Structure 1
Amino acid sequence: MRTALVIGTGLIGTSAALALSGRGVEVHLVDHDQAQARTAAALGAGTDEPAEGRVDLAVVAVPPAHVAATLADAMRRGVARGYLDVASVKGGPRRELEALGLDLTSYIGTHPMSGKERSGPLAATADLFEGRPWVLTPTRDTDTEVLNLALELVALCRAVPVVMDADAHDRAVALVSHTPQLVSSMVAARLEEAGEAAVRLCGQGIRDVTRIAASDPRMWVEILSANPGPVADVLAGIAADLDETVRSLRALESSDEAKRHEGAEGIEDVLRRGNAGRHRVPGKHGAAPTVYEVVAVLISDQPGELARIFADAGRAGVNVEDVRIEHATGQQAGLVQLMVEPKAAPVLSAALRERGWSIRQ
């Protein structure tokens, strides 16, 4: 691939353009908002000048509702040898293109499984896709050359290609992406009218659950409008669990011992199923999930403290597998939770104590 056209210079389009430009591809940028295309160009994502002749690949990075029309226009004008989109739903846009009677041998639907709460070109980074799955949904009609162009794009963005059926993809993202967004927003919405005293008690749990609730509502309305059925199916299952959990909690209020026992069993059931589901989430480098030991260290909110604690862990010969910071309310301090292999936890705790760190159980 020597040349590419990126249509749509939001987070995903600009990030892909930055990755391609950084690896020597000549990238041309187009957006209905010319100022946004100029911003992406100023960031080094390519040029907002039109291409001379056909490019090798056109990347359509517009909201799902506009994918089919944008692709159809580009394909009719013959702007590229191959075409792909990066929308978060795949079945609907392809059916729309088929209904328009277009030759789809030069098209493949794709979806990079990465993003941020922020949108727009200023949020874009060349490494946004590194190590992340990038779904490809070829059909029997997809030309081999187009599939190879898509695979080259994925490789240049340093993502991991995953081949799926389009409708299977839409059901999958309904479960692992679209429903979590709604559930996160629903939990966060409970905080809107909460008292100040309750909000001040927010800890890491509520922060984890509501992180993605900061996402752009307009963007998510467009995404959910393109995949409503599969999302509604998942939410219906969650709603059934919620109804059963409410009944179980009400039973725990009862003076009847048998009802309380039944309520406790209902709560335990949903928690155990949650454990089982969580264990299926892939672990490090896509391997089976590992249960890590947590070494919690009190740390002051000062420049260089994180660097110092990681350096001390390195001197102890311990690899930190993951890290989380829990900030103390009203204090210039917090807890750094270092996740390590269980056998490494006592070694790390002893080494950090020796170097003056305060370890918390």
Structure 2
Amino acid sequence: MRTVAVVGTGLIGTSAALALSARGIAVHLEDADHDAARTAAALGAGTVEPAEGPVDLAVIAVPPALVGPVLADCQQRGLARCYTDVASVKSGPRADIAALGLDTTHYIGSHPMAGREISGPLAGRADLFEGRPWVLTPTPDTDTDTLNAALELVALCGAVPVVMDAAAHDRAVALVSHTPQLVSSLVAARLEHAEETAVRLSGQGVRDVTRIAASDPRMWIDILSANAGVVADILEDVAADLGETVAALRSLQAADEAKRREGAQGITEVMRRGNAGQARIPGKHGAPPTRYATVAVLIGDQPGELARLFGDAGRAGVNIEDIAIEHSTGQQAGLVQLSVAPSAATGLTAALRERGWSVRD
């Protein structure tokens, strides 16, 4: 692959263009918003000059409802030899493409499982797809050259290819992406009119749950409109669980001891199911999840403090598997939670204390 056209320079399109340009691919940028295309070009994602002939691959990075019309336009212009889209829903665009009678021999649907809670070309990052799954949903007549072009795209972006049926993909993303987005928004919505004293008590737990609630509603309307039925089905199941949980909580307040035990059992069961589901989420590098030990270190909000902490951990011969920072409200300090192998926790704690760090038990 030597030449690529990226049609749509939002977060995903710009990130793909940045990754490809960094690997020496000549990238031609298009967008209905010419300012967005020029911004992506200024970031080093490619050029807004049109290609002289058909490019090797066109990446259509537009909302699901626009994939069919944009693909029709690109094929009519002979923009590329092969085509893929990166929309987050696959069944709807495939149906639109079939209804328009477009060439599917040289087309393959795809979806990189990566994103951010901010959008637009300025949010683009060349490393956005590194190590992330990138789903490919070939049609029954997608030819080998087109599949290979898509696989090369995935490799150039540093992602991991996963081949799936379009409908199975949509059910999967409804469960692991679209429903969590709405649940996060629903929890965050409770904070909108909450008392300031309550909001100031927010800790890492509520930050983790509500992080993606900062996403652009306009972008999510496009996504959810294309997968609304499946997401609604899952939310109905969540609503049933919520109803049972509410009933269990009411039982915990009952005067009758048997009722309280019943309520406790209900809460225990929903949390047990949550434990089991969370344990199935792949861990580091896609491996089975590993239970790490946590070493919590109080750190000042000053330049170089994190680097010094990581350096001291390195000198202790300990690999940091993950990190989280809980910021103190109103203080220039935070609690850094270092996830390490359980066998390394005691030694790291001792080494850090020897170097003057305040390690919390």
What interval of TM-score do these two structures reach, taking the shorter chain for normalisation? over 0.9
Deviation of 1:22 (Å): 1.0
Residue 339 of structure 1: aligned partner: 339
Are the aligned partners of 2:18 and 2:45 in contact in 1 as well (CA < 8 Å)? yes
In structure 1, distance between residues paired with 2:310 and 2:103: 55
CA distance in 1, matches of 2:349, 2:52: 62
C-alpha deviation, 1:175, in angstroms: 0.4
Within 1, Cα distance between the matches of 2:102 and 2:131?
Answer: 34
Q: What is the alpha-carbon distance in structure 2 between the residues aligned to residue 102 and residue 332 of structure 1?
A: 59
CA distance, structure 2, for counterparts of residue 334 and residue 33 of structure 1:
42
Listed as ranges, the matches of 1:118-197 within 5 Å are: 118-197=118-197
Match of 1:253 in 2: 253
Distance, in Å, in 2 between the alignment partners of 1:102 and 1:297 is 58
Alignment-mate amino acid for residue 345 of structure 1? A
CA displacement at 1:75 relative to structure 2: 1.3
TM-superposition CA deviations, 1:167-210 (whole Å, max 9, x none): 00000000000000000000000000100110010000000000
Code of the aligned partner of 2:197: A
Cα deviation code 1:113-149 (max 9, x no counterpart): 0011111111101111111100001132001000000
Q: How far apart are residue 79 of structure 1 and its match?
A: 1.1
Q: Which residue of 1 aligns with 2:244?
A: 244
Residue 16 of structure 1 and its aligned partner are, at CA, apart by 0.5
Deviations 1:221-278 (A, max 9, x none): 1100010011111111100100000000011111011111111100000000000000
**Residue 218 of structure 2 is aligned to residue 226 of structure 1:** no
Question: SS at 1:48's partner residue?
Answer: coil
- Aligned partner of 1:111 in structure 2 is 111
In the alignment, what sits opposite 1:293? 293
The answer to whether the 8 Å contact 2:26/2:46 transfers is yes
Cα distance in 1 for partners of 2:68, 2:140 equals: 20
Structure 1 runs of 4+ aligned residues shifted over 6 Å read: none
| 1:209 equivalent in structure 2 | 209
Residue 219 of structure 2 aligns with an amino acid whose one-letter code is M
Give the TM-score normalised by the residue count of structure 1.
Answer: 0.99
Tell me what 1:62 maps to. Answer: 62
**Structure 1 letter corresponding to 2:289:** P
List per-residue Cα deviations over 1:261-300 (Å, max 9, x = no partner).
1111000000000000000000111111011110001101
2 CA distance for matches of 1:2 and 1:286? Answer: 30
Letter in 1 for 2:33: D
Q: Which position in structure 2 is the counterpart of 1:304?
A: 304
Q: Is the 8 A contact 2:295 2:360 kept in 1?
A: yes
CA positional deviation for 1:72 = 1.2
Aligned 8 A contact 2:65 2:92 in 1: no
Stretches of structure 1 lacking an aligned partner (at least 5 in a row): none
Q: Which runs of 5+ in 2 are unaligned?
A: none
Q: In the alignment, what sits opposite 1:96?
A: 96
Measure the CA separation in 1 of the matches of 2:102 and 2:137: 17
Say whether 1:282 aligns with 2:277: no
CA displacement at 1:77 relative to structure 2: 2.0
Deviations 1:318-348 (A, max 9, x none): 0000000001111111110000011100010
User: 1:238 is aligned with what amino acid?
Assistant: V
Q: 1:353 aligns to what?
A: 353
Instruction: After TM superposition, give the deviation of residue 4 of structure 1 in Å.
Output: 0.8
Between the aligned partners of 2:69 and 2:139, the Cα distance in structure 1 is: 20
* 1:32 alignment counterpart: 32
Work out the percentage of aligned pairs sharing the same amino acid: 75
CA distance in 2, matches of 1:95, 1:76: 19
> Is 1:17–2:25 an aligned residue pair?
no
Contact 2:88 2:223 in 1 (8 A): yes
Which letter maps to 1:59? V
Asked whether the equivalents of residues 299 and 305 of structure 2 are also in contact (C-alpha less than 8 Å), the reply is: yes
Helix, strand or coil: the match of 1:320? coil
TM-score, structure 2 length as denominator?
Answer: 0.99
Rounded to whole Å, the distance in 1 between the matches of 2:102 and 2:359 is 64
Distance of 1:329 and 1:23 partners within structure 2: 43
**Cα-to-partner distance string for 1:84-117 (whole Å, 9 max, x where unaligned):** 0000000110011101112211100000000111
Provide the rounded CA distance (Å) in 1 between the counterparts of 2:342 and 2:126: 35
CA distance in 2, matches of 1:112, 1:128: 9
Quote the Cα distance in structure 2 between the aligned partners of 1:240 and 1:180. 16
SS of the residue corresponding to residue 290 of structure 2 reads coil
